[in-house]
Structure 1
Amino acid sequence: MGQVTVLVNEKAYMVSCGDGEEAHLKDLAAHVNLHVTDLARQVGQVGETRLLLMASLLVADELSEALAKVKMLEADIEQLTQTRIAALERSRDAEDLLADVLDNAARRIEDIARRVEAA
């Protein structure tokens, strides 16, 4: 199990994590620290717990917006998939119709060729 020291609001915290997750954990802590630092500038040092709570709410809001975008994109993907399936079906139908037209034309040409040869 890995351990990492992260800095949030100018305080060091030792955090355990899975092996190989250290860099990711540091990135996450840096993101939280950005929010805490911005909040401390805006509202002052209102206490570590309150700053962490406010930063957590901001991060949760970002996550909520990201999940909403993912849901919207999944709906768009589903709609595009259905449109693509419908287009493929129309294309197959058009190919079948074209094949029928070409078969009929070939039969008519063969019929004309037989009549010309018989004449």
Structure 2
Amino acid sequence: MAAVIVTIAGRTYRLSCDDGEEPRLQKLARYIESKILSMKDSFRDVGEQRIVVMAALSVADEAADSRSKAEALEADVVALRAELDAVRKAAAALEERATAAVEDAAQRLERLEADLRKPAVSDDFPF
């Protein structure tokens, strides 16, 4: 188990994390710290604890928006997969119809060829 030391809102924290997760945790802490600093600049007369809560709510709002977008994208993927499946079925049906049409045409050509190979009517008839 690894540990990371981060500073958020002027306070230092020692946080445990899985091995290899240190850079990610440090990056997240820097992001939270930047939110807090941004809000401090915007709301100078607001207390420290309130700024931290506002930053947490801002990050939670971003996360909720991201989840909503991800869910919408997942719904789009489901719809696109259904559309793709319908297109594949339509293509398969068209292929079957085309194959049947080619087979029918081939049979007609064979019959025509056979008709053309039949001997002509002989001149022996008195017509």
TM range (shorter): over 0.9
What amino acid sits opposite 1:55 in the alignment?
Answer: A
CA distance in 2, matches of 1:75, 1:62: 20
Q: Percent identity?
A: 30
Residue 32 of structure 2: aligned partner: 32
1:64 maps to 64
TM-score, normalised to structure 1, is 0.93
Match of 1:80 in 2: 80
Q: Deviations over 1:33-68 (max 9, x none)?
A: 111000111112744322221111000000000000
Indicate the SS of the match to 2:37: helix
* 1:69 counterpart letter in structure 2: K
Greater fraction helix: 1
- Given the superposition, is the C-alpha separation of residues 111 and 93 from structure 1 closer, same or farther in structure 2, using an over 3 Å criterion? same
- In structure 1, the partner of 2:89 is 89
Q: Which runs of 4+ in 1 moved over 3 A?
A: 45-48
5+ residue gaps in structure 1? none
**Equivalents in 1 of 2:107, 2:9: separation in Å?**
84
State yes or no: 1:104 paired with 2:91: no
Counterpart code for 2:38: D
CA distance in structure 1 between the partners assigned to 2:29 and 2:57 by the alignment? 15
Residue 4 of structure 2 corresponds to which residue in structure 1?
4
**CA deviations over 1:13-48 (Å, ceiling 9, x no partner):** 211111111001001101111110001111127443
Bigger Rg, structure 1 or 2: 2
Matched, 1:23 2:8: no
Give the aligned residue type for 1:76. D
The separation in 2 between residues aligned to 1:73 and 1:25, in whole angstroms, is 27
1: CA distance, partners of 2:8 / 2:68: 28
The corresponding residue for 1:48 is 48
- 1: distance between equivalents of 2:37 and 2:59? 13
The question of whether the paired residues in 2 share the 8 Å contact of 1:45 and 1:51 is answered with no
